Structure 1
């Protein structure tokens, strides 16, 4: 039952930097509306924010923001944030991603929003050095201090934030097993391709179904560890193990272009499809999914691969260690070790039985710990409890009935 918004509904504002990042909150605005909130969402321009305008009870606001530091542009974005917070006067803000969190939390603190929550998705400082690392550390410290609490998307990210970003230990927490949105298990359970459909999809992207496929999904950039993947591909070639690489995702800057060139020089076939709105069918073309990242928050692509019953290999990076139990739900290798990554990939490519055992364990784990209703339910309950603890206006009775399914 959809809730009818009433005048005294508590007001919440969700924010991210760019439209693409709204996928981190897929379905959450509608859930919060049903729970009694007057929901407002902020992001840069794009298709997702426009689609949210069609969701009853949700108001979408567009504030263009640059991901990288751009002083003049950042000042203009901050002015728009200040004006919006002044106009809305939300009871609660839940803002994530670096630029939106910095600007949005500043504006929310300026107007003394009663419950300010910083959603920490990852730490860029982990792979930065020198002055840039110091600047990023300062930004994280300031952003977290402007919020009442920080929600980290994984336990290992929480520990890194305490250790490296000077975020107070008693002011940062993880809900459940982590994640901010979970994975739609039913989508993957009910969308299994048959053999003909797999062959047809493979043909459209010129993938050879007779050659083992190692897959990668994500932004193509140096922090994703693609140099290590290229080294592993060369080692596999030298061992006489022929594979093909299926790369799904957009090229992110010069480092992404260089990574593709390096992968194409490994003597293994590379099929790069570019960005795909829905990568779900492509996991079913992979024998092994590989994420050799140097840093993560909590990698949704690994959850997607597990939900697709595709065997996974990942590095011991922040976030990845929270979702892969080595030898149980996947294989974990050391960051930067081409040799370890090549051996792990070779093991799974050559052993169908090993892949099957890992994928069943992984599917069971992700179904229980990271299913979307569980993850979103924990966040919904957290937001409701924090609102109540601040002594704010109660949820209207109609919302309580709607949340109970009355």
Structure 2
């Protein structure tokens, strides 16, 4: 495959479930416009069609289960091998754990020359016992089958090395991190967004005197929702005008405590909306954003809050330490130390000047480092470099695979 053939190369980006295609919003369209032959791959589902229309790329489909299922996983692997044998891509980039495992293994079996495992987070961090061992082995298998591993943050890279999942030489972080970056313009506070916010505040009973703690994400134990609600209830006794705004769906897996759910549904000062496909306007209702997640990969929601001008407070865990500059764009707290969380949230609630300073500094920092353009450009350069190196690969079989799979016939 010569240098002139690089742009025509076929790339397949795979995730497990259709909803995860949103993690690549705009990315595949960008790569297609750059001249690559790009396709997405996921399990069947209605959202896949929406993504196809939005990105103007073909969607390949194979059934994949999110949870561990040896029989179904074996079937998924078999179908993935058939599909890749037919498609003959030059690059397979698989993200999310199950797609990472199935597709990197299938790509290796088929001889795909560039096999990338994109690690957006490590679910095993909050598991133990047999399940942790199974998840760890799955991560190691996916990383071993890959020729390259993309970590979405430096802290994820460090975890991959510390857990002996992948060798350091194999791991890459694109730019400052993030797997997709952010459309900066959609976070701007326009006259339209101001009017919407005022109407929504009236609708949900927020006065100008109210201070609003906010959270956007899955309503699960892993995300620290139990702790967040507990802290709010305590702070509410000190700050009478305090409200809590929660955006996200409850989930049966890793569900919050029943007492927590009861408080959310019945507390007069807690406002809960289900999942919102466009959550940005809701950030504009918040004064302080709080994330007490036990683990992240790269915390998109913290950058979204920062771009929206809402200073965040988060537990210092994998993925959050890359998305807050402690004391400059927000506060990091000791993981599991709820008194530290409460103290720093209280400090921001009581100090509007500090909130404004963090908001201004954070927005500048996030815009400079995490735009879509910065991340997509880094990915394009990475693909160019890896494709060019194929022709320098001394192994004859590898070079044969590059020619065999490099371009659509």
Q: Is TM > 0.5 for Structure 1 vs Structure 2?
A: yes
* Residue-by-residue CA offset, 1:353-385 (whole Å, 9 max, x unaligned): 110000000000000000110111101110111
Stretch deviating more after TM superposition (11-20 or 252-261): 252-261
Partners of 1:181 and 1:363 in 2: how far apart? Answer: 18
Partners of 2:7 and 2:344 in 1: how far apart? Answer: 56
Given the superposition, is the C-alpha separation of residues 7 and 175 from structure 1 closer, same or farther in structure 2, using an over 3 Å criterion? Answer: closer
Q: Which residue of 2 aligns with 1:174?
A: 173
Partners of 1:348 and 1:355 within 8 A in 2:
yes
Task: Tell whether 2:72 aligns with 1:101.
Answer: no
Partners of 1:39 and 1:57 within 8 A in 2:
no
Q: Which residue of 2 aligns with 1:229?
A: 228
Matches within 5 A, 1:380-391: 380-391=380-391
Q: CA deviation at 1:190?
A: 5.8
Q: Which residue of 2 aligns with 1:309?
A: 309
Partners of 1:229 and 1:341 within 8 A in 2:
no
Q: Which residue of 2 aligns with 1:216?
A: 215
Q: CA deviation at 1:229?
A: 1.2
* Residue-by-residue CA offset, 1:270-313 (whole Å, 9 max, x unaligned): 11101111001000000111111110000111111111111111
Partners of 1:266 and 1:334 in 2: how far apart? Answer: 30
Given the superposition, is the C-alpha separation of residues 295 and 112 from structure 1 closer, same or farther in structure 2, using an over 3 Å criterion? Answer: same
Partners of 2:75 and 2:191 in 1: how far apart? Answer: 47
Partners of 1:193 and 1:284 within 8 A in 2:
no
Tell me how large the CA RMSD over aligned residues is.
2.3
Task: Tell whether 2:408 aligns with 1:376.
Answer: no
Unmatched tracts of structure 2, length 5 or more: 392-401
TM-score by length of 1: 0.90
Stretch deviating more after TM superposition (142-151 or 225-234): 225-234
Given the superposition, is the C-alpha separation of residues 265 and 204 from structure 1 closer, same or farther in structure 2, using an over 3 Å criterion? Answer: closer
Partners of 1:140 and 1:165 within 8 A in 2:
no
Partners of 1:313 and 1:343 in 2: how far apart? Answer: 11
Given the superposition, is the C-alpha separation of residues 164 and 209 from structure 1 closer, same or farther in structure 2, using an over 3 Å criterion? Answer: farther
Q: Which residue of 2 aligns with 1:401?
A: none
Given the superposition, is the C-alpha separation of residues 57 and 196 from structure 1 closer, same or farther in structure 2, using an over 3 Å criterion? Answer: closer
Unmatched tracts of structure 1, length 5 or more: 1-5, 397-406
Task: Tell whether 2:323 aligns with 1:323.
Answer: yes
Q: Which residue of 2 aligns with 1:128?
A: 127
Given the superposition, is the C-alpha separation of residues 384 and 48 from structure 1 closer, same or farther in structure 2, using an over 3 Å criterion? Answer: farther
Q: CA deviation at 1:237?
A: 3.1
Partners of 2:295 and 2:217 in 1: how far apart? Answer: 13
Corresponding residue SS for 1:54: helix
Task: Tell whether 2:298 aligns with 1:298.
Answer: yes
Stretch deviating more after TM superposition (283-292 or 219-228): 219-228
Given the superposition, is the C-alpha separation of residues 146 and 47 from structure 1 closer, same or farther in structure 2, using an over 3 Å criterion? Answer: same
TM-score by length of 2: 0.89
Q: Which residue of 2 aligns with 1:28?
A: 27
Given the superposition, is the C-alpha separation of residues 104 and 225 from structure 1 closer, same or farther in structure 2, using an over 3 Å criterion? Answer: same
* Residue-by-residue CA offset, 1:202-247 (whole Å, 9 max, x unaligned): 3444555542111101111111112221232233134345421111
* Residue-by-residue CA offset, 1:128-151 (whole Å, 9 max, x unaligned): 111111111111111100000100
Partners of 1:62 and 1:281 in 2: how far apart? Answer: 33
Q: CA deviation at 1:267?
A: 5.9
Matches within 5 A, 1:4-403: 9-54=8-53, 58-189=57-188, 191=190, 193=192, 195-207=194-206, 210-253=209-252, 255-258=254-257, 260-261=260-261, 263-264=263-264, 269-391=269-391, 392=402
Corresponding residue SS for 2:12: strand
Given the superposition, is the C-alpha separation of residues 134 and 89 from structure 1 closer, same or farther in structure 2, using an over 3 Å criterion? Answer: same
Given the superposition, is the C-alpha separation of residues 204 and 265 from structure 1 closer, same or farther in structure 2, using an over 3 Å criterion? Answer: closer
Partners of 1:228 and 1:292 within 8 A in 2:
yes
Partners of 1:12 and 1:39 within 8 A in 2:
yes
Given the superposition, is the C-alpha separation of residues 354 and 7 from structure 1 closer, same or farther in structure 2, using an over 3 Å criterion? Answer: closer
Partners of 2:77 and 2:106 within 8 A in 1:
yes
Stretch deviating more after TM superposition (305-314 or 206-215): 206-215
Q: CA deviation at 1:337?
A: 1.4
Stretch deviating more after TM superposition (149-158 or 209-218): 209-218
Q: CA deviation at 1:170?
A: 1.3
Corresponding residue SS for 1:336: coil
Q: Which residue of 2 aligns with 1:404?
A: none
Q: CA deviation at 1:250?
A: 1.6
Corresponding residue SS for 2:8: coil
Q: CA deviation at 1:57?
A: 6.5
Size of the aligned set, in residue pairs, is 389
